[in-house]
Structure 1
Amino acid sequence: MVESARESRFQIQGMDCASCAQKIESAVRRIPGVENVAISVMNSSMTVEHSAGIHLEPEITKQVTRLGYRIQPPAQGHTLTREEIHGNEASHEGHSHASHAPTEGKWWHRPAVRLTLASGLAFLVAYAVAALAPQYEFWLYATAMLVGLIPIARRAFAGAITGTPFSIETLMTVAAVGALFLGAVEEAAVVIFLFLVGELLEGVAADRSRASIRGLADLVPKIARVERDGGLQEIAADRLAVGDTILVRPGDRIAADGTVVSGESSVNEAPVTGESIPKAKEAGDPVFAGTINGDAVLRIRVTATAEDNTIARVIKLVEEAQEKKAPTERFINRFSRYYTPGVMVLAALVACLPPLLGGAAWSEWIYKGLAILLIGCPCALVISTPAAIAAALAAGARRGLLMKGGAVLEGFGQLQAIAFDKTGTLTEGKPTVTDIVAFGEDQSEVLRLAAGLERGSSHPLATAILKRAEQEGISIPESADSTALSGKGVTAFIEGRKVLLGSAKAIDERQPLSEEQRRKIEVLYDEGKTVSVLLADDRILGAIAMRDEPRGDARAALTRLKAEGIRTVMLTGDNRRTAEAVARSLGIEARAELLPADKSRIVEGLRAQGLKVGKVGDGINDAPALAAADIGIAMGGGTDVALETADAAILHGRMNDIAAMVELSRRAMANIRQNISIAIGLKALFFITTIAGVTGLWPAILADTGATVLVTANAMRLLGWRPRS
């Protein structure tokens, strides 16, 4: 029997961009026995799939180390089968998912800092000594240059023999050695130092991007107070199990996702949702790990383990998403593979053609050719897109907006139509009492008797009536001999009176409705409401109308989407009358009485019209349409099927978050366009000035280093993004 392939995970430090990941992947893939390599820049990790029964750790470590990166092997050399990796994403020994994220420590602890400082110090020493002993100037600056160049050249050679011959290190090495032979040794030393500064700044920016999302893990307290054996025990929060009951004091952070068992308090959800106003919580309400309890003690039943809570899911999804490249990023990566060799050819032509064809001085044009090599470094161009995408995905995740990859982020800004489910998406997902119509008694008496009939029932309509009675402070009477009439209603004796609450049709069979009563009930039906009529001792007392009401922000969100030029349509399996009533109140096109296959067919029809289509839903019946859409969006609290099928998820169920995702996408794409313009624009400018003889080697490296810094800083602005109100 053939053993299945094995997977080993490694942590890699110093890997700060897609170019780094590409070099490492190319090198590791060349090792005999390696079947596949998956690298996460965001998580600084590499998963190697290899043949079972062979030990590749030393060879992998050697390949990665020779490229200039530090690698940590799997804990105790542990390898997992593919089934273990994918079937149990929970971390070992009960630690949270985020606890395995690698850290570089403080930025000044990075090896790149020591190398940059050494190079800078060597240059300063060379400058100072050369001022006193000019005859040794060449050797002093050459030595200073070699302090930084030797590690760079070593990485260039390692890349060349492991599948990446045209790397940034190769360009730098050729340019520096060429400058050395031309006697421009002082400039060569400056160029090497500036290059190292640029690499260092790129690494610091990458660390900041990682920290922005990993910082979420720090929101969850490390200790929880759990009820055990009739008392309270303090245990590690990552050891909580589903079903445990925890006690959260005022001012404490909540240690796990859960449901309030007892207590009433306000909870500050800003750390997770960004909402500044605390939310009132009472028994039955959900709470999230990392949020802050306000006024009073809450007892909370845990509904998700540390590996599965809201914050852990956010971190995991964002880390996975950042490895899924957007079309723009894929294009830039493909372009850069041809761009770097092209730059080397162009530099060679600049260096050779004028002397060969026009008799120009070789030293002058070789110098310019070397400057072209530096100007052409692809760093800024390569990082322009992934830096912006990483920052945008992290900014969205901090506000509960999860997008599964750069392609999804880019696609949101291109949406031309969005189809919405009704129940639980456009509406609250639970009925609410909207009207109390009195025929024979006042409204409060109608509500009081109806609540008495429904006392103890968990039916959604009964819950709506009981909640309305509680809101109005009505004392609910006791009932006796309560009986459910199949499909018709419920009857019981209350205070000696036989009371029946049922459909208008069921009541009409017992006690005919008057024309006025029929007219009022018909108006309620036309508004898409469910109507129950109250009968007491053969006397019609009134009617109660209920409807699953639109979310408070639904109309404003749809208006905002329309203002962005996006068509909106509601798809629902509900009856046509109810659907049209809700659609009228929201100003949206409606398609009703649909099966799951019908929803999918309508989405495909919109796509057939040439539209980029999004689909928003929260249930199993939405899964086919979510999969059929260009972008499927699952609402918070949705089923696992919807969340898995969707391309994006709105964790906190706010309709305005749909428009916020579109806004974030368009901001990110604008940022990417700015970055590409900066990268190419600076290169074009310095190319012209170099050919004209205005600028030389060290300004040329500023064209690359400066562009890289500007591009990274511009991308990091997205970390501070906040959706418009």
Structure 2
Amino acid sequence: MNKKQKRWRNRIIVALIIFAIVMAATELLPLSIWLGSERGAVYLEFALFLIPYLIAGYDVLAKAARNIARGQAFDECFLMSVATIGAFAMVFFPDTGPHMAEGAAVMLFYQVGELFQSYAVGKSRKSIAAMMDIAPDYANIERDGELVQVDPDEVTVGDIIVVKAGERVPIDGVVIEGSSQLDTAALTGESIPRHVDAGATVISGCVNMTGLLKVRTTKPFGESTVSRILELVENASEKKARTENFITRFARVYTPVVTIAALALAVVPPLLGMGAWSDWILRGLTFLVVSCPCALVISVPLSFFGGIGGASRLGILVKGSNYLEQLAHVDTVVFDKTGTLTSGTFNVVAVHPEAGIDPDSLLSYAAHAEAYSDHPIAVSIKQAYAGEIDRSRIKDVQEESGHGVRAVVDEKIVLVGNDKLMAAHESAWHECDLVGTILHVSVDRTYAGHIVIADVVKEDAAQTIAELHAAGVKSCIMLTGDRRDVAEAVATELGLDEVHAQLLPEDKVNAVERLLANESDGAKLAFVGDGINDAPVLMRADVGIAMGAMGSDAAIEAADVVLMDDKPSNIARAMRIARKTMRIVWQNIVFALGVKVLILVLAAVGIANMWLAVFGDVGVAILAILNAMRCMSVKKMSE
């Protein structure tokens, strides 16, 4: 609670104490006997209740006056001012009872509700502010043998910065010296530190936990990950959901309509001789108090704000409440394969030597033949080989594009590649039953065996599909440019409903267009990709979800929802958050409107008094705010 809120709270507490004392005095003390007349006691009550009323509500009255002067009269301050001033003005109608206590109570409890709202919004903002804490205050640059702290904006691409233990990485870059553990929790929600050493890419916003790192920057600060995320979070509130926009438009029409209705209720019946002026004016004032739409205009945006804030703490960045609303209605989820459901890195999954050939010897020949290649397949073979590569054993390396590599290793001709390479060199080979990329190895035209390389399915990918189906998603579909047999094997393993393989980027867009055309009314389609190669599809889907997007500008630009870690299971968590947020939004809308309509009817027929009106306004608002605050509970929202 900030200083302004504390002063506000203290003022309301003082007003409540004075109100309670005045209430007790007027109820328990024989004021009319002491003053010698009933009217004298009424006027004294007027003066006494005016004290807490003005202490609590002077700012509401001032705001209402300013808005009237600007021609913007119809808001909750206007409604509260007219209703409470009217309640006090009832003292001038001798034929009716005094209503100063109700007038003061309406203003007091309205302010209590406003203070509660301010606290709730502040708490929600803290979940967003936690994300803002990733912003670095400075960067360390070495000058004349000393470390100097400079503004991150002053650092240019290619500069060497020093990140000490306990400091945040200020700018994206590559480690050139040192090793350490990085805390990425603020970006991804992941509690396990990430190990980095020379050659590793680091992104801004992470906390260096142990050793000293020297980092060569690869982006200016304004384009680094932390800047892009902060910009994304700050702009999230600008993109409102249809429900939120409806409530805003509703309040603009609703407020003047109920004001005119209250005026008609107070004036028309007594003009027609249907009762005393005091009775109908009181009904009109009660009608005004109940009609204040603050429960809706507060709780609905607060629910969305809380949902977005709660998601951000899990490393799920939603660009606006409109995307949160659409995510809640998704019934079809389309996945890219590589980097989304699979790790995107090739690994050796099997080594099948021919009879009499040692597996390590087969890997050794393949690793030496691929020693000079940077192709992902070559890298995976070299990583799988346990020994050290002796380049003095290698001669005459020739890469045959699309086929493989030919090299002389230990004076023997070694071929490593696909079946086309074997056929081109008239070497024997045979098929393998395993699904993946098959690298055949031939030594001096004698078939030595083959190595199976595959893009490994992520640990939580199958769990993701199961959770999405459990959440009511009808179709989980995979689109990939990979071979059909590989794609179908992954789809079977994960339990996907459909798979479309060997697609070019434009084929993916066409496939999504067809799926969108078949969507039922109100249902939405989400596409999940890595955000770089899939930008066109991410932008075309109803909801584009980019995952594993730490440092990916394309992902942050193209997607509507950005998952900062590499876990597909967070897709299901994001959908659960969106759906619970929408349930809470509609609970508040139905509850607030239902109670208000009921009490408005009771007020119009003279059954509801001003105390019931206080509940209809402030009570409903507080209950709706409490319900909206459930959106901020990350654990409950993502379960």
TM-score normalized with structure 1 length = 0.77
Q: Out of 177, 194, 207, which is 1:279 matched to?
A: 194
Asked if 1:562 corresponds to 2:475, the answer is: no
Whether 1:138 aligns to 2:46 is yes
Tell me which of 55, 68, 78 is aligned to 1:170: 78
Describe how 1:470-509 pairs up with structure 2 within 5 A: 473-478=386-391, 479-487=393-401, 488-509=403-424
Is the Cα contact below 8 Å between 2:397 and 2:408 reproduced in 1? no
CA contact (8 A) 2:427 2:445 kept: no
Residue number among 453, 463, 466 corresponding to 2:369 in the alignment: 453
SS at match of 1:322: helix
Q: Is the 8 A contact 2:352 2:359 kept in 1?
A: yes
1:437 aligns with 352
Alignment of 1:404-443 (within 5 A): 404-439=319-354, 440-443=356-359
CA deviation map 1:464-502 (0-9, x unaligned):
112222xxx323232432422322322333334333322
User: Residues 106 and 438 from structure 1, CA distance in 2 versus in 1: closer, same or farther, beyond 3 angstroms?
Assistant: farther
8 Å contact kept, 1:448–1:475 = no
Distance 1:721 1:253 in 2: 25
1:606 and 2:519 aligned:
no
2:591 aligned partner, one-letter code: I
Match for residue 660 of structure 1? Answer: 573
1:544 is matched with which residue? 451
Q: Which moved more, 1:477-486 or 1:145-154?
A: 145-154
Percent identity over the alignment is 37
Relative to 1, partners in 2 of residues 1:434 and 1:660: Cα closer, same or farther, differing over 3 Å?
A: same
Match of 1:367 in 2: 282
Amino acid at match of 2:126: A
1:660 to partner: Cα distance: 1.5
* Structure 2 equivalent of residue 154 of structure 1: 62
What does residue 540 of structure 2 align with? 628
Give me the whole-angstrom Cα distance separating, in 2, the residues matched to 1:404 and 1:590: 29
Residue in 2 that maps onto 1:463: 379
Q: 1:705 aligns with which of 613, 618, 622?
A: 618
| Map 1:247-266 → 2, pairs under 5 A | 247-266=162-181
Match of 2:506 in 1: 597
1:267 aligns with 2:187: no
Letter in 2 for 1:647: D
- Equivalent residue for 1:532? 439
**Residues 171, 234 of structure 1: alpha-carbon distance in 2 compared, 3 angstrom cutoff:** closer
SS in 2 for 1:325: coil
Contact 1:245 1:302 in 2 (8 A): yes
Instruction: Check whether the contact 1:314–1:397 (CA below 8 A) recurs between aligned residues.
Output: no
In 2: Cα distance, 1:631 partner to 1:165 partner: 39
8 A Cα contact 2:228 2:556, kept in partner: no
Cα distance between partner residues in 2 of 1:144 and 1:391: 34
The 1-side partners of 2:539 and 2:188 are apart by: 27
Looking at structure 1, the residues matched to 125 and 227 of structure 2 have their Cα atoms a distance apart, in angstroms, of: 15
Q: Counterpart of 2:204 in 1: which secondary structure? A: coil
2:395–2:409 CA contact under 8 A, matched in 1: no
Q: Is the 8 A contact 1:264 1:298 kept in 2?
A: yes
Q: State the Cα distance separating 1:572 from its structure 2 match.
A: 2.0
Amino acid at match of 1:162: R
| Cα offset, 1:661, TM superposition | 1.6
Would the aligned equivalents of 1:620 and 1:639 in 2 still touch at CA under 8 Å?
A: yes
SS at match of 2:348: strand
CA spacing shift, 1:594–1:153, aligned 2, 3 Å: same
Distance across 2 between alignment mates of 1:188 and 1:712: 23
How many Å separate the matches in 2 of 1:348 and 1:718? 38
SS in 1 for 2:572: helix
1:632-711 aligned at under 5 Å gives the runs: 632-637=544-549, 640-684=553-597, 686-687=599-600, 690=603, 696-711=609-624
Given that residues 49 and 104 in structure 2 are in contact (C-alpha distance below 8 angstroms), is that contact kept between their aligned partners in structure 1? yes
Could you tell me whether the CA contact under 8 Å between 2:368 and 2:394 is conserved in 1? no
Contact 1:448 1:477 in 2 (8 A): no
Which one has more relative contact order, counting CA pairs under 8 Å at least 6 apart? 2
Residues 610 and 485 of structure 1: is their aligned pair in 2 closer, same or farther, counting only changes over 3 Å?
Answer: closer
Partners in 2 of 1:512 and 1:497 — Cα distance?
Answer: 14
Q: CA deviation at 1:118?
A: 6.6
Read off the aligned partner of 1:108 and give its amino acid letter: Q
8 Å CA contact 1:477, 1:494 repeated in 2: no
The equivalent residue for 2:483 is: 575
CA distance in 2, matches of 1:244, 1:122: 64
Larger radius of gyration: 2
Alpha-carbon shift at residue 438 of structure 1 (Å)? 0.8
| C-alpha displacement of 1:720 | 2.2
Distance of aligned partners of 1:248 and 1:434 in 2 relative to their CA distance in 1, 3 Å threshold: same
Report the Cα distance in structure 2 between the residues aligned to 1:702 and 1:242, rounded to whole angstroms.
60
Is the 8 Å Cα contact of residues 57 and 108 (structure 2) preserved in structure 1? no
Deviations 1:626-649 (A, max 9, x none): 232211222333854453232222
The Cα offsets for residues 603-638 of structure 1, whole Å up to 9 and x where unpaired, read as 121121134211122355523322322112223338
1:314 counterpart letter in structure 2: I
CA apart distance, 1:370: 0.9
- Pairs aligned (count): 610
**SS in structure 2 opposite 1:301?**
strand
Q: Is the 8 A contact 1:502 1:534 kept in 2?
A: yes
Distance change in 2, residues 1:586/1:283 (3 Å): farther
Higher mean displacement: 341-350 or 623-632: 341-350
Measured after TM superposition, the shift of residue 363 of structure 1 is 2.1
Distance in 2 (CA, whole Å) between partners of 1:233 and 1:717 is 45
1:398 aligns to 2:318 (yes or no): no
Q: Report the secondary structure of 1:266's partner residue.
A: strand
Do 1:220 and 1:254's aligned partners in 2 also have CA atoms closer than 8 Å?
no
Alpha-carbon separation, structure 2, partners of 1:603 and 1:671:
31
Give the aligned residue type for 1:151.
D
For the residue of structure 2 that corresponds to 1:423, the secondary structure is: coil
Does the CA-based 8 Å contact 2:15-2:53 persist in structure 1? yes
Report the aligned-residue RMSD: 3.1
Q: Measured at CA, do residues 435 and 331 of structure 1 come closer, stay the same or move farther in structure 2, by a change above 3 Å?
A: same
Contact 1:573–1:593, Cα closer than 8 Å, also in 2 = yes
Distance 1:676 1:338 in 2: 16
The answer for the alignment partner of 2:94 in structure 1 is: none
- Matched with 1:383 is 298
- In the aligned structure 1, how far is the partner of 2:278 from the partner of 2:408? 107
Q: How does 1:280-359 map to 2 (within 5 A)?
A: 280-352=195-267, 355=270, 359=274
1:347-389 C-alpha deviation (Å, 9 max, x unpaired): 3354356656674443233223211211110011112211111
Quote the Cα distance in structure 2 between the aligned partners of 1:122 and 1:609.
65
For the 8 Å contact 1:449–1:477, the answer to whether it is kept is no
Deviation at 1:429, TM superposition (A): 2.1
TM-score (norm 2): 0.86
